[in-house]
Chain A
Amino acid sequence: MPILGFIFQRVLQAIFVLIAVTLFISYAIRLTGDPAVMMLRESANVTPEDLARIREGLGLNQPFYVQYWEFISGFVTGDLGVSFFRGPIGPIVSDALGATLLLALTSLAVSLLISIPLGIYAARNRGSFGDQVIRIFSLAGLSFPNFWLGIMLILIFSVTLRWLPASGLQGPASLIMPAVTIGVILTSTNLRIVRTTMLDTLSAQFIMVARAKGLSERSVIYKHALRNSSIALVTYLGLQFGSLMGGLVVVELVFNWPGMGTLAIEAISQRDYPILQTVISILALMIVAVNLVVDFLYMALDPRIRLE
C-alpha cells in the first residue's frame, strides 16, 4: 500500500503543479500582447473594428476564467484545440515532442556512453596523464558555447566534407550533429560527476571488502562501485532531462530542429496562447514524471532509501 499512497501523492502533486503553472502562464501571456495585433502586424488597413472582430473570432473577448477552463478541460480530455495561427494543435505538438524526445534521449545516451567509462577510468587512474587529458576535455566541453560547436560541426561535416545534412530532421544522419553537440556539453558535466563520486566510493570500506573477498575488478567496479556512486548521477540526469525538454532552443535553431523549445518561443512571440499553454503543460507534466522516475530509481539503487 505505501507505494500506491506514494503514487497517489505524486499524482496530486502533478495536478497541483499543472494548474499552478498553466494558470500563471496563461494569465501572464495575456498581459503582454494581443494575438489579433500579431496577426495583423504586416497588415496595412488595421482598424479597431478589425481587431475586435478577430478577437471575437478567436474567443478572446470571453473572460479569462472561461478561456482557461476551456483550455484545461480540453487538455485533460485530450482535446488540444486549434492554434490561432496554424490549425489543430494535436499533431503540431506531438511532432515537436517526438523530435525533442528523440534528440534529448539520443544526446543523453551519447553522453552516458562517453562519460561513464571515461569517468571511471579517470577515477581509477587519478592524477595520471589520461586523467589530466579527460579533465581538460571536460573543461573545454563546458567552455564551448553549444551554438558555436554546432556551427563548427556544420561547417566541417556539411559545408566542407558534405557528409551530413546541415539541418532539419530527415533520416538518422540528421540526428548525428545535434546529438553530438548536446552530448558533448552533457558529457562534460556528467564525466565530472562520475569521476568525483567514483573517487569517493572507491575509497569506501565496502570496496576494500569486496576486493578482499577476491571479486574480479570488473565486478568490483561495475557492480559495487558504480551502483553506489550513481545516486548523484541519476539525480543530475533527471534535472538534465527536464532542461533538455524545453531548453534546447539554441541548438534547435542552429540545426533547424523542429522541437518543443522552438515551438514555445514561436508561440510566445506570436502570442499563440493555445499552443503555448499546451506546450507548457506537457513540459510541466514530463518534469513531474521524470522526478517520479528518479525517486523510484533511488529506491532501486539504494534499498536503504524507503518511503517516509
Chain B
Amino acid sequence: MMKLTRMLLAATALTVVALPAVASGTLTIAQRQDPQNWDPVDTFILAWGGIASNIYDGLIRRDESLKLQPGLAESWEVLDDGMRIRFMLRDGVTFHNGEPFDAEAVKYTFDRLLGEQGAQGPQQSNYTTIDRVEIVDENTIDMFMAQPDPVILTKLSGYGAMIVPPDYIEEMGEEHFNLNPVGTGPFKFVSYSQGVQIELEANPDYFEGSPELDGVVFRFIQEDSTRLAELQSGSVDILNNVAYSAIPTVEADDNLKIVSVPGPTIYSLALKSVEPALTSDVNVRRALNMAVDKQALIDAFLGGRGTPISQLQGEMSFGYVPDLEGYPYDPEQARALLQKAGVAPGTKMTIDYRSGNSTFNEVVQAMSGFFSNVGLDVGLNPMEDAVFLNEIVPQGRTNEMFQFNWGGWTFDFDNTAYLSYRDGEKWNPYGTSEEMNRLLVEGREVSDVAERESILQDIARLAHEEAYHIPLYVEDQIYAISDRVQNFTPAPDIRLRLVDVSVTD
C-alpha cells in the first residue's frame, strides 16, 4: 500500500514538469459546443459565429452594439426599390492562403451558397431572397434580389454570407475546406481537433490592422464544472455561456470576473390555441400569463442576469415595442379569469419542454408551482430535442403549453414573428388569426424602414393581446474572464471581436 502511494506520488511529481505552459500572447477560450464544421454554408450554430467570425469576413460586419459596419465592402447602395444592392469592395485584401479577394470571390461565394453546395446545408434558406450576384468590375458587384428583403443587410453580416476563397475550395475540395477553413479575417486557421479545440494565429495582414494577440485557442469542454475548473486553474482565460450556478464561484475568485450583456435568446412557453385544448380560450391564456412571476424566476434561477419580456424579442431587436407592458403578475385576477372561462380548480394541463437545459428545467418546475397557485394541476413532460423538434411541435402534437425559445441572431422581429405566428409555419402548428397573417405578409412587402417598424410593432401588440405565448425573459450572455485579459468587450451575439484584445502574464 505504501509502495503504491509512493509510486503514485512519484508519477504525479513527474507529470508536473510536463504541464503545458501558456504561451505569452495566446488567449484561450472555453465553450460548450464544438461547431464541428467550418464551412459557412453548413452551419447554424450560434457558437460557430463566435469562432468563425474571427476567421471569415462578410461584406458587412455587425459590431458589438449591433450596428452594421463596412466589412469586405467599403460601402453599399440600395437601388431599384430594394431590388438591387451595389457593393463597393475593399481593395488589396487577400485571403489567408494568399489568394486575392475581389468581385470574383464574392460572386463565387453567393453562387455556392445559392447553388448545389448550399442546398446540402442549412444556410441557403436564409438567403433565398437573393436572386444572383453580378460582377460590375473587379471591385464592384451588384446583388439582384428575387424580392425585397429588409433584413438582408443584417443577414449579410452572418453565417452563410461569409466570403470564401474560390481557388482554395476548387483545388482542395469541399471536404478539405470543411475542416481547414480559409478566410480574410483577423485570425488564420492553424489546426482543428474534433471535440477538443481549434487553434488560430494572428493574421498580420488583416485589413484593419494586425491583432494584438499572437493567437487564440478555442477549447470545447462540455461539462460545466470542468470548464470552470479549467478557468480556475488558469489554463483557460475566458468562458462563454457560463452556467448560472458557476457565477458565485467566479465572483468569489479575485483573479476572475463576470462580464455580461443582454443576449439574443428569448425564452417563453407557447400556448396551444386550438380546441379542444383549454388554452384555446384567450382568457385562459391571459390567466396563465398572469400566474407567473417572471422576475422571481430570473432572480431564482438566472442569478438575476436576465430581463423579463412582454414580447418575443428583447429591446435591441428591430420592431421592439418599448411601452408594451406585459401581463402583471396577478394570481387573483388569473383565478378570476380562469373561473370566467369555466376552468375548474384542479384542472390538469401539461408543459412540453426540451430536457437538455438544466436552468430551464428548474424554470418550468417553478412555473408549475405558479400555476398550482392559481388552482391548476400542471404536469411536466420533458423531451429529447430531436423528438420535440420533429415529432411534437411541427406535427401539432403538443400539450397545452410548450417550450419556445428563440436565438434571434438577426435582432429583427420579422424572423421570429413570421415563424411563430404565420399559419402553417413550423413553430405555429395551430394557426393564429387572419389579421395576424395579413400583418406578417405586409411586413415583408414594405421596404420603408419606419413603416416596417410600425407593422412589426403592431404584430407584437396583437400577439400580446391574444396571448399566444407566455413570454418569460431574455437571457444575458455571460462571460467569465481572467484578469490576464485586457480590452475584452462582450458581444450580445457571441461573435467575439478579438482584434483589440490582449493578455498579460
Contacts and interface: CB of A to CB of B under 8 A. Distances in A.
A-B residue pairs, 6 tightest by C-beta: A33-B386, A57-B120, A173-B15, A86-B36, A166-B229, A44-B415
A38 interface: yes
Interface string A156-198: 0111001111111111110010001000000000000000000
Contact of A173 (B18, B197, B220, B418): B18
Interface string B438-455: 000000000000000000
B12 to A, nearest CB: 6
Interface in B151-194: 175, 178-179, 193-194
A262 to B, nearest CB: 7
B221 A87 contact: no
Interface string B410-422: 1000011011000
Contacts of A42: 44-46, 407
Interface string A42-55: 11111100100110
B223 A46 contact: no
B119 interface: yes
A163 B12 contact: yes
A262 B195 contact: yes
Contacts of A96: 195
Contact of A166 (B36, B128, B193, B226): B226
B112 interface: no
B223 A33 contact: no
Interface stretch (A67-75, A213-221, A251-259): A251-259
Nearest to B197: A168
Interface in B89-145: 119-122, 124-126, 128
B23 interface: no
Contacts of A154: 225-226, 229
A148 B36 CA distance: 29
B175 A164 contact: no
A173 to B, nearest CB: 4
A95 B196 CA distance: 11
B249 to A, nearest CB: 10
A53 B125 CA distance: 10
A155 interface: yes
B234 A167 contact: no
B220 to A, nearest CB: 8
B194 A258 contact: yes
Contacts of A158: 229-230, 232-233
A45 B419 contact: yes
A32 interface: yes
B4 A114 contact: yes
A176 B387 contact: no
9 contacts: A33-B387, A40-B122, A41-B385, A43-B44, A44-B126, A45-B126, A85-B37, A87-B37, A87-B175
Interface in B236-261: none
Interface residues of A, number: 61
Interface string B384-398: 111101110010000
A57 B119 contact: yes
B175 A82 contact: yes
B193 A95 contact: yes
A269 interface: yes
Interface of A: 32-34, 37-47, 50, 53-54, 57-58, 82, 85-88, 92, 95-96, 113-114, 118, 151, 154-155, 157-159, 162-173, 176, 180, 253-256, 258, 262-263, 266, 269-271
Nearest to A253: B223
A32 B392 CA distance: 11
Contacts of B408: 44
Contact of B44 (A41, A95, A165, A170): A41
Contact of A271 (B179, B197, B386): B386
B69 to A, nearest CB: 23
B386 A269 contact: yes
A176 B195 contact: no
B124 to A, nearest CB: 8
B359 interface: no
B37 A39 contact: no
Contact of B20 (A162, A165, A253): A165
Report which residue of A54, A92, A173 has the largest number of chain B beta carbons within 10 angstroms of its beta carbon. A173
A58 B20 contact: no
B210 interface: no
Contacts of B36: 85-87
Interface in B38-78: 44-46
Contact of A167 (B120, B126, B229, B418): B229
Contacts of B426: 46
Given A32-B386, A114-B4, A258-B195, A47 B232 contact: no
A40 B362 CA distance: 26
Nearest to B128: A45
Contacts of A173: 15-16, 18-19
Nearest to B120: A57
Contact of B120 (A54, A263, A266): A54
Contacts of B46: 42
Given A46-B419, A163-B19, A167-B230, 4 more contacts: A39-B121, A154-B226, A167-B223, A258-B194
Nearest to A57: B120
Contacts of B44: 39-43
Contact of A38 (B11, B119, B193, B385): B385
A159 B230 CA distance: 8
Given A44-B126, A155-B229, A37 B195 contact: no
A86 B175 CA distance: 9
Contacts of B385: 38, 41, 269
A87 B178 contact: yes
B15 A255 contact: no
Nearest to B236: A166
Given A39-B44, A45-B419, A58-B120, A92 B386 contact: no
A133 to B, nearest CB: 8
B15 A163 contact: yes
A159 B233 contact: yes
A119 to B, nearest CB: 13
A161 to B, nearest CB: 9
A190 B222 CA distance: 31
Contacts of A168: 196-197, 219, 221
